[in-house]
Structure 1
Amino acid sequence: MTFDNNKLMFSVVIPLYNKANHIQRAIDSVLNQNVQNFELIVVNDGSTDGSEKVVEQYVDSRIILINQENGGESAARNRGIKEAQAPYIAFLDADDAWEADFLLTISELITEYPEAGAYATALKTLEVTGEYRSYTYTPLPSYPWKGIIENYFDCLSNGSYPLSSTTTCVRKEVLIKTGNFNRSLRIGPDIDMWIRVFLTTKIAFTTKICAIYYRDAENRSVDIKDFSKKELELIVYLHKYISEPKMTKEYLFFFKKFLSNKLNAITLRYINNNRKQEAMLVLFQHWGLLDFRQKLNVLLRLLLSKKLIDFARKYYA
C-alpha cells in the first residue's frame, strides 16, 4: 500500500484539560513528525488554567482547537473522533509526546499489516528523577519485533499494556463499530476501548519506542484510596465481557486471569494500607474471580496481620 503525502491520512486527537505547562511539548512533537499529512484536533475540555491560549498561539491551518464544557477525557476524545476527517485516528495525551518517527512507524504498520484495523508502538517513561524506563510486553517478543497481537488478554494478564492513549492509532471505521469511549468510567476507559477494538479487528504492534510518557506532569499523583475504588469499579464493569460472544475459550482464560490479578492486587493493597475490612469485602464479593492461590494468599495475609496486631496489643499492654 502506498500513501499520497498530499492526502489527509491521520487525525491526531489530543484531549486537553489544565495542561498549560505541557501542551506545547505535545503539539510540537506532532508538528515535528516525519509524516506531515495530518490534522491535529485539540479538544479543550473546559480548562481553567489558560491551556487553550497556548494552542491559539500556533499559526498552522492543520491545528483545530475545539472548546467545550468539562466532560472528562472520554468526552473530549469522543468529540475529537466525531470531528476527525482522516481515515486513521491517532491518540496523544496532552502531557506526553511522540518521537519524530511515530506516524511514520504507524504508516509502516498499516502497509505491512493491511488486515489490521488498529496499530500501536512501545513507549518509554521519563521519571521525575530524569531517568528513562522502558517496558517489556510479555508475552510479545522483545525488541526488535512487530506483528499482530494474537491475544490482547494474554498481555493484560501479564501486566502488559501494548496499547495506550498516547501510542495507539485506529481506523475511524473501526471506532464507529466499537462505539465511543465510556464516559462513566472514572479510570481505564482506554482499556475498555482497546478490549472492544481487539474483539472487533486485528491489532498490529511494534516494540519500537516511538512515544514518551512524562511522569512529572500535573494531575498524575495517585490517591491510593480513591484509585483502588475506581479500579474496582473498572473491574466490575469489565466483567461483562465474560459473556461477550466473540470471546474464545483462550481469550476467556486470559481475560479471567487479568481480572483476578487486578482484584488480587486491589485486595493486597487494602491490606498493606491497614484497610482489612475493605479487603475482606472485595474478597468475598468477588470470590469467584480469584483463583485458589490468590484466595489462600489473601486469607493468610488477613489472618497473619490479625495475629500480629493481637500479639502487639498483648505485648505492649
Structure 2
Amino acid sequence: MATGSVAGEAARGCAHPRGCHTGDLPVLASATVGARFWLLIEHSGPWASHLEDCRLPEDVHTLIKRATHLGIRPQLIRRPGRRNPHGTGIHVMVADSTAAQPWLAEGVIAGPDDLDMDALVAGVVPESCILVSEPVFLVCTHAKRNACCARIGLPLARALAEMLPDRVWETSHVGGDRYAANLVCLPHGLYYGSMSQAAAIAAADAYRSGEVILDRFRGRAGIPEPLQAAEHFVRSHTGELSVGGVAVESSRSDGDTTEAFVRGSDARFRVVVEPMTLTTPCGTACADTITTYRLVTLDRLAPVRYATSALT
C-alpha cells in the first residue's frame, strides 16, 4: 500500500466492527517498552501526526528534541474540553516510571535551559520542578495520528476528568493505536487499552488505591514485552493486584521463547512465554493483526521471605 494510503487510513481509523476496540481482543504485554522517563508539555494544539511536525513554539520543539535525544518520552498534553493555556511560561511534568519508587514532579519553566533533563535520567527531580503526590492520568486523543484515538478517547477523557478534576489530561500518541482508547497512569507508567468510560474510571480508582485491574491492562511501560507477559500471568494465577506486588527478577530468551523468574507477594515463579499473532476484525490501519503472548509454563518456586511495597 502506498504511503499516502496508509496516512489516509490512519486519519480515518477503522470501521469498528464487532470486537474492535471493545476489549474482546487481548491487550496484555503491549505497553510502550521505551517509556522509562517522561516529559509532559502542556500545549493546547492543534497537534500534527508527529510531534516534530507540530506548529509549536521553538522552545517547545527544543524541549522535545532534547528529551528524545536523552531517551525521555515527550508528550504534549492539554486539559479535556479546555484549550486555555496554563499561563506564562511552559507548564511541564516529568516522571521516572522505573525507579524503585516511581515519582512525578511538575513546574513552570521560562525556557528549555530551566529544565535539567540530565538530572531526570539520573533519577533526580530537576530543581525547577516539585514532587507531586497525586497520580496523573493520560488519555490519548491524538486525532491526526489515528481518528479512533479521538473518537473514543475524547469522551473518555472528559468523563474521567469530571471524576478527577486537574488529574486527567488529553495527550498525544502514547503507542498502540490499535488499543484505543488508551489510558496511561503516571508515575508508574501503567498502560490500559480498549477502554470504555466505566473501565477507565475503575482503573483510575484502582491505581489511586495502589492496585491494577487485569481486565484491559496492557502492562507497565519500560519493561520488555515478554516480561510484561510473565508478570501478567503471575498476577492472573495468584490474584496479586498491588502495583508493586509482582516483578521480574531475571530472564533469558531462546529464540522466541522467554523464561522469567518472577517475584510474587509470597512466592517466586518460573514463567515461560511465547509470542503469538492474532488476526483482528478491523482489517484497516488500526490493526490487521496483533501480537500477544501465550503462557507455556508457570511453576511455583520457593516462598518469598522479604517484605514488598504495594506502591513501587
Greater relative CO (CA pairs within 8 A, separation 6+): 2
Question: Which structure carries more helix by proportion?
Answer: 1
The structure with the largest alpha-carbon Rg is 1
Question: Which structure carries more strand by proportion?
Answer: 2
